[in-house]
Amino acid sequence: MELFWPMMALIVPAVIVIFFTRWTHNKYVAVLLTFILFAAAIYQGYFYSEWTLFLNAVSIVIGYMLIELYELDAIDVQDGE
């Protein structure tokens, strides 16, 4: 159980950035929404150590890099629709 929160801090923000990117079709808005979400959590006191904050920041950068690598912010247009 000791590794649960650091692992979640590495995975969840990247997934949230990817989800917001697919939802808004804009990677910058997705990163901004993710920062706002985690800033609200920090303000409410849900983070208990500096390591989780660091891991969240790294994960947001990893999520952004995945968006750039796989071009997830591109809008899919199908012919005839």
In a domain, residue 21? The reply is yes
In a domain, residue 31? The reply is yes
Give tens-digit pLDDT for 28-81.
999 999 999 999 999 999 887 899 999 999 999 999 999 999 998 888 777 655
Number of domains in the chain: 1
In a domain, residue 59? The reply is yes
Token pair, residue 52, equals 């989780």
Domain of residue 64 covers: 4-70
In a domain, residue 23? The reply is yes
In a domain, residue 49? The reply is yes
Contact 13, 4 (CB under 8 A): no
Contact 34, 17 (CB under 8 A): yes
Rg from Cα positions in the chain = 14
In a domain, residue 60? The reply is yes
In a domain, residue 63? The reply is yes
In a domain, residue 81? The reply is no
- Which pLDDT does position 47 carry in this prediction? 84
